C-alpha cells in the first residue's frame, strides 16, 4: 500500500530496467535543473599549449546497494564533473580522465541539464575519454614521478565517488603523491569520500587531511532523501561521519553552494557549488603554475 501511494504521488524511485533505481519524478524536480549557473568566466592569464594537466579521477561503478538491498543507479554527477571541467578548460588546463582500471566512466545521466548547451557540449567533447579513460592502476604502475605535468587532481561528485575509490590502493598512492609534491586536490559533493583512501585502515591521527576544513554534501540530507525517492533506501554508510572520525571539520550543514579552500585542498558541497568551485580551482591552479614559473 505504501509503495502504491508513493507511486501515485510520484515519490517512488524509478526502475532503470537493469536491476537498479533512479530518483523519483518528484526528487528529480527538486534536486536537478535543466540549466546550470555556469557563467562562462574568462581567464586573461589562461595557459597556452595545454602543457599543464589536471587528472580527473572518476568512478567506474554504477550501483550502490542500499541497506534494504535495493540498488541506486549512480556514477559521477554530470554538473559536478562538467561545470568545473569547463572552467579548468577555459583556464588552459588539459584534462586527463581516469578510472581505477580504465573501465568506462559511469555518469548519472538522469541529472544531465538538458537545456545547458555548454555542459552538453563538454560531455560531447569528452565522451571518448569517458568511454575509454586512462587506468589509474597503469598510471601509478608507470610511475607518478614522471608526471610532473599533472598540477592537480580532481575528484567529481555523485554517490559513485563512494564506490571503489575510498578503498583503492592506487588512489591512496596518488593522494600521497599529490601531498608530497605540493599539488592541488579538488573534490566536490560526495567526491571527498574518495579522500578516505589516503588513510584506509590506519590511525586517524595519520590522515593527511586531519585538521582540514571541507565543504561536502551533508550526511543529514543523504539520510533525508529516501523520503522523497531520491534514493531507494538508506545508504550503507555515510562519508561525512567517516571524515569527522579522521579529524576533518565539515563547515556546512546545508547543501547551499558552499565552497572551501584549505591549503592545497578545494572542496564544494553540491551541484550548486560547481560553478564557484570551478572558478576557485581554475584560479588557484593558475596562480600555482604562475608562481612555479
Q: Which positions are catalytic?
A: 189
Q: Give the angle subtended at the CA of 131 by the CAs of 24 and 93, to the nearest 5°.
A: 100
84 within 8 A of 278, measured Cβ to Cβ:
yes
Integer-rounded Cα radius of gyration of the chain:
18
For 221-259, b/e burial (b = at least 16 CB within 10 A) is: bbeebbebbbbbbebeebbbebbeebebebebeebebbb
Residue 267 pairs in a beta bridge with: 187, 260
Rounded CA separation 193/255 (Å): 16
Residue where the block lists cell 559511469 = 106
Residue 140's contacts (CB-CB under 8 Å, 6 or more residues apart) are 170, 173, 174
Angle, helices 274-292 vs 78-90, to 10°: value is: 30
Amino acid at each position: 500500500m505504501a509503495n502504491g501511494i508513493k507511486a501515485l504521488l510520484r515519490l517512488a524511485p524509478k526502475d532503470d530496467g537493469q536491476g537498479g533505481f533512479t530518483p523519483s519524478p518528484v526528487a528529480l524536480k527538486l534536486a536537478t535543473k535543466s540549466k546550470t549557473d555556469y557563467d562562462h568566466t574568462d581567464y586573461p592569464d589562461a595557459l597556452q599549449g595545454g602543457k599543464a594537466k589536471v587528472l580527473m579521477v572518476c568512478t567506474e561503478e554504477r550501483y550502490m546497494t542500499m541497506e534494504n538491498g535495493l540498488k541506486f543507479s549512480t556514477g559521477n554527477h554530470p554538473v559536478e564533473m562538467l561545470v568545473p571541467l569547463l572552467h579548468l578548460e577555459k583556464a588552459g588546463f588539459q584534462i586527463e580522465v581516469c578510472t581505477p582500471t580504465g573501465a568506462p566512466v559511469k555518469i548519472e545521466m538522469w541529472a544531465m541539464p538538458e537545456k545547458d548547451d555548454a555542459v552538453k557540449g563538454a560531455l560531447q567533447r569528452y565522451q571518448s575519454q569517458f568511454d575509454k579513460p586512462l587506468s589509474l592502476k597503469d598510471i601509478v604502475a608507470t610511475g607518478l614521478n614522471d608526471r610532473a605535468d599533472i598540477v592537480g587532481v580532481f575528484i567529481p561528485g555523485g554517490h559513485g565517488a563512494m564506490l571503489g575509490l575510498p578503498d583503492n590502493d592506487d588512489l591512496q598512492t596518488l593522494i600521497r603523491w599529490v601531498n608530497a609534491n605540493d599539488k592541488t586536490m579538488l573534490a566536490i559533493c560526495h567526491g571527498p569520500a574518495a579522500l578516505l583512501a589516503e588513510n584506509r585502515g590506519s590511525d586517524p591521527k595519520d590522515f593527511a587531511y586531519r585538521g582540514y576544513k571541507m565543504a561536502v554534501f551533508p550526511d543529514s540530507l543523504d539520510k533525508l532523501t529516501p523520503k522523497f525517492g531520491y534514493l531507494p533506501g538508506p545508504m550503507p554508510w555515510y562519508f561525512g561521519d567517516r571524515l569527522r572520525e579522521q579529524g576533518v571539520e565539515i563547515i556546512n550543514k546545508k547543501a547551499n553552494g558552499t565552497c572551501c579552500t584549505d591549503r592545497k585542498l578545494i572542496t564544494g558541497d553540491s551541484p550548486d557549488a560547481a560553478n564557484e568551485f570551478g572558478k576557485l580551482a581554475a584560479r588557484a591552479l593558475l596562480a600555482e603554475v604562475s608562481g612555479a614559473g
